[in-house]
Amino acid sequence: MDNLQGQSGGHAAAGGVLGQRVEMPMEYTPSILQAVPRAVHASVLHVGDRIYPRKGVDVWQAYEISCLYGEGIPAVGLLKMSYAAGSKVLVESKSLKLYLNSFNNHCYSECRTAEDALSEMRWTVEADLSALLGVEVRAQPHQVKGGESDFSDYLVLEEDERFVSGGRLQEGVYGEKLDSGEYEFRVATHLLRSHCPVTGQPDWGTAYVRYRCEKPLEVKGFLEYVLSMRNEHHFHEEICDTLYEHLLGEYGPGELMVACAYTRRGGIEINPIRYT
């Protein structure tokens, strides 16, 4: 990997709840939230002699949300949280899980419906996380647990025999040539893996790339780069930042979007997105 090589293991989260045995809080406990420094938070990115904007958002989807309402009736749902990738700190994932579970016995007695109770919880979460991270955090409760993917039209590279065949990566390029002379490609790979820098546990995910630039995607080189992350120890957001910077360095100016959709751990998905 390019810009994260040799940095693993130096994260401040090592002294917090991550990797520690911690009792589940039985009442609302905002003090359990922990911030960790973001490795990269500059608003611009220098690649060679070019300067690119560093834009993006980190989206967290919590699947195990619950509080009480009325006379103690449980309200259950999902909660999507998002905040700007330019924040100087991240919320540490285990502390967020413990914090969200601290609402399980918290009763919004004035509420008469589950929807109202989850909405009240949402305002509390937004306020607490915004104060922790120093940026605006938006939260949205919902009930949808499935549906059509935003990336349903992306080509999964390892499932195409032009690019992976006989147990080997194959040489090849991919991209649609536009009337402008530029190329556009929308690709995905489920081969993304890295490790938590504190616990060492593997994190599995899918990388989605949409790029409009001056040349097609060199598929073998791209997949080799993704596979080179398999034994790296970095947070999800850092992996996404690194892949984004690598592609800008390889393919130059254009319209780029990189999304890393990780499988959930502890009932929470972390999905960083970066774009020009």
Per-residue model confidence as pLDDT tens digits over 177-195: 999 999 999 999 999 999 9
pLDDT for the residue numbered 13? 45
Domain identity same for 225 and 136: no
Tell whether the model's pLDDT for residue 87 goes beyond 70.
yes
- Specify if 5 maps to a domain: no
Catalytic, 107? Answer no
CA 274 – CA 84 distance, rounded (Å): 10
Beta bridge partners of 164: 169
Q: How many CB atoms lie within 10 A of CB 26?
A: 11
- Specify if 149 maps to a domain: no
Helix axes 219-227, 236-251, angle to 10 degrees: 150
- Specify if 2 maps to a domain: no
Domain identity same for 137 and 16: yes
Tell whether the model's pLDDT for residue 146 goes beyond 60.
no
Domain identity same for 172 and 136: no
List 196, 213, 240, 260, catalytic entry: 196
Using the 3D structure, point to which of 116, 142, 168 is the last residue of a domain.
142
Kindly give the pairing relationship between strand 173-174 and strand 168-169.
Answer: unpaired
Q: Confidence band (pLDDT; 50, 70, 90) for 70?
A: very high
CA atoms within 13 A on the CB side of 55: 7
Domain identity same for 178 and 255: yes
- Specify if 250 maps to a domain: yes
The structural domain count of the chain equals 2
Inter-residue contact 52 to 255 (CB < 8 Å): no
**CATH number assigned to the domain comprising residue 222:** 3.30.1130.10
Domain identity same for 75 and 43: yes
- Specify if 4 maps to a domain: no
CA 272 – CA 207 distance, rounded (Å): 10
Domain identity same for 133 and 174: no
Whether the pTM exceeds 0.85: the reply is: no
**DSSP letter (8 states) at residue 25:** P
- Specify if 6 maps to a domain: no
Domain identity same for 132 and 171: no
| Domain boundaries, position 92 | 12-142
Domain identity same for 196 and 125: no
Domain identity same for 128 and 220: no
Catalytic, 260? Answer no
Inter-residue contact 54 to 43 (CB < 8 Å): yes
Q: Tell me the pLDDT tens digit for each residue of 96-108.
A: 999 999 999 999 9
Question: SS3 for 32?
Answer: helix
Place of tokens 């990269």: 40
List 128, 203, 240, 260, catalytic entry: 203
Measured in whole angstroms, how far is the alpha carbon of residue 219 from the centre of its chain?
Answer: 23
Nearest 5°: the CA angle 166, 222, 2 is 130
**DSSP letter (8 states) at residue 205:** E
- Specify if 109 maps to a domain: yes
Domain identity same for 177 and 58: no
Q: Confidence band (pLDDT; 50, 70, 90) for 9?
A: very low
